[in-house]
Homo-oligomer: A and B are copies of this chain.
């Protein structure tokens, strides 16, 4: 399941173990959401962002890979239907120093490739 630090990150997040989660983060961790342009700076603000997240979620780890430089967590955070999140982690001195997070939303299938595709899912 990828590097030890990716696994520990996912385990602490999934368990809402916010103290343990915080110990995995660099003091000056930077969290980026390219889809909105939002940036959260520092361990305290980033732990709070997660702790105070206003909608229900449970983490199911789908894929996790990494090495000493960083890793990627592919998770499903949905309760009644899938809600996929992909989290890119970059490490420094054994802690998570940068996070790039993606929350892909559904969109309509392009018509110009119908000849190559099937459909599945809800």
Contacts and interface: CB of A to CB of B under 8 A. Distances in A.
Interface string A80-122: 0010101010100000000010111111111011001111111
A71 interface: yes
Contacts of A65: 2, 65-67, 70-72
Interface residues of A, number: 49
Interface stretch (A7-15, A16-24, A41-49): A41-49
Q: Is the interface of A mostly helix, strand, loop or mixed?
A: mixed
Contact of A107 (B36, B74, B112): B36
A62 to B, nearest CB: 8
B54 A112 contact: yes
A41 B107 contact: no
A40 interface: yes
Contacts of A32: 120
Q: Across chains A and B, which 5 residue pairs bring their CB atoms closest together, nearest first?
A: A65-B65, A36-B109, A72-B72, A37-B121, A102-B104
Interface in A27-82: 32-41, 45, 48-49, 52, 54, 62-63, 65-67, 70-72, 74, 82
Nearest to A49: B116
